Amino acid sequence: MIRIVNGTDSELHTFYELLRIYFPAYETSGELFLIIDTTAENKHVTLIIDDDQYENTFGGTDEYELKRKISAWIASEVDHPNKEPSLWGSLTGTRPIKFLQKHRRELGDAGVMKLLTKDYLIDPDVASLLMRIAKRESALIGENWGRGYSLYIHIPFCPTRCEYCSYPTISSDNKEAVRIYMDYLLKELSFVLNKMGTSPETIYIGGGTPTSIPVADLEKIFQELRHLTPKEFTLEAGRPKTITTELVDMIRDYPVTRISINPQTMVDRTLKAVKRPHSAEDILTAYELVRKKTDLQVNMDMILGLGDETVDDVDYTLNKLCALEPENITVHMLSLKNGSKLFENNSVFVKNTRSMESYAMGFLKEKGYHPYYLYRQKRILGNGANIGYAKDGTESIYNMVMMEEIHTVVGVGMSATTKLVDSRGNTIRKFSNFRNMRDYTDRFSEVLKKKAKYLGDVL
């Protein structure tokens, strides 16, 4: 158990995250206490890890600085055999590039590098990578993304459930659920488009596996969107067996520009182990079909750390993917989240994920792919990160602006999040639809009421 005693809400949040990064095993077993005694002049901090105790006193009154100093002490000075290594120093949070961009404006590039490496103790190579991505992002999206909006449409259905997945998904075999969901989704979509009045800058249909519902149902969504003129329109197709001739022929009639075909790994043994019921061959077939019939840009998702994979397996998958020359490859590090079978069964091999991550980066660089967006997740193996790579000029705008929260994204469908951002890129409101289908449909009037109330704020 990890417990923070006497902390403010903000301390509780930051230190819990940090302690979970450095001492992940204590989330479920063992005893780890952080006790904070605050006086007018200082904070006295005691960290108890099982039978070991560490203490320190931090002077000053600036809450933010105090928090940073305590974090740096935990990251660099506390030395315990159960402490996991991390390249991220004392930086927590899922959006490091957003953090960097904010400080770049105040401190300039050299100042930010110093802040990252000296104050936050981030590994210099990681800091340089973050800076490269931040610069690339600034060059690609410029200053104007505070205006307009993007649209995210969520389809929670999947053919089956993969072992590592923690998303709230529903079986696409449940025809009645698909029918009911579509009814409500289309109502919400049409309400949002009416309310917004203009075309979104980008559209993303994600899931789940959107292409696991019948093509005719998916087409109903596209028909709602057919008059729009987005700069980019991504369809998550995920599972290769859902990419049929019928599907590809249908989407050619609509303004889709990008499709995601996700192997996760090209190693058949691993696909079987994580209960992803397709083969590497199925990926090749789906890819060829899309290439033959469309000029869509293709993204392919990978996950590092699945099954008993080693760096050799990562090399195998990267070779297979790069031979296909997709425009984008997104490399995820396995994260072990509540709600996934892997987490429940505690069945993950501890492995050298850091060498997999750096191997993938080196390999992709050689093949002409540049990292252009990055985010961290909770309970990610080896304190790694998820990194989106793209060939020059094919970077997904949606991924960048959504991750940096510098652009309004209106989410439609069960569990979809809406973020309203003002013209200077400040988030003014964030809210999510209900996370399960029963609430989403039974309390649908509340969903619309919220949208009616807040969407006006961005117009």
Which residues are near ligand SAM by CB under 6 A?
A: 158, 164-167, 206-209, 236, 238-239, 262, 264, 301, 303, 332, 334-335, 337, 340
Measured distance between the N- and C-terminal CA atoms of the chain, rounded to whole angstroms: 46
> And the tokens for 435?
């996370």
Site residues for ligand SF4, window 392-421 (CB under 6 A)?
A: none
Contact call for residue 240 and ligand SF4 (CB under 6 A): no
| Residue ranges in 206-225 that form contacts with ligand SF4 under rule CB under 6 A | 207-209
Q: Identify what 161 binds: ligand SF4, ligand SAM, none; CB under 5 to 8 Å per kind.
A: ligand SF4
Q: In what order do the strands lie in the sheet with 42-49?
A: 2-5, 32-38, 42-49, 52-59
Task: Give the residue at shortest CB distance from ligand SAM.
Answer: 238
Q: Is 238 in the site for ligand SF4 (CB under 6 A)?
A: yes
Check residue 259 for interaction with ligand SF4 (CB under 6 A): no
Which of 67, 104, 136, 239 binds ligand SF4 (CB under 6 A)? It is: 239
Rounded CA-CA distance 169/186 in Å is 19
Which two tokens mark 339?
């709600």
By rule CB under 6 A, what count of residues binds ligand SF4? 11
Minimum CB–partner distance for residue 399 and ligand SAM (Å): 11
CB 204 within 8 A of CB 152: yes
Cα dist from 248 to 154, 212, 240, 279, whole Å: 20, 13, 12, 20
Decide which of ligand SF4, ligand SAM, none touches 332; Cβ closer than 5 to 8 Å per partner kind: ligand SAM
Residues 6+ positions from 304 with CB-CB distance below 8 Å? 314, 331, 332, 333, 334, 353, 356, 357, 360, 381, 384
Q: Which stretch binds ligand SF4 (CB under 6 A): 20-28, 165-173, 331-339, 368-376?
A: 165-173
Minimal CA–CA distance to 92: which of 107, 79, 75? 75
Cβ-based nearer residue to ligand SF4, 111 or 168: 168
* Closest approach of ligand SAM to the CB of residue 412, in Å: 16
Q: How far apart are CA 173 and CA 209, in angstroms?
A: 12
Tell me: does residue 161 bind ligand SF4 (CB under 6 A).
yes
Sign of the alpha-carbon dihedral angle for 271, 272, 276, 281: positive
Of residues 353 and 415, the one with the C-beta less far from ligand SF4: 415
Determine if 384 is a binding residue for ligand SF4 (CB under 6 A): no
Q: Does the protein bind ligand SF4 through residue 170 (CB under 6 A)?
A: no
By CB atoms closer than 10 A (0-12, 13-18, 19+), residue 201 is buried
| Smallest separation (angstroms) from ligand SF4 to the CB of 400 | 22
In total, the chain counts a number of residues equal to 459
Q: Which is nearer to ligand SAM, 234 or 264 (CB)?
A: 264
**Interface with ligand SF4 by CB under 6 A: which residues?**
158, 161-162, 165, 167, 169, 207-209, 238-239
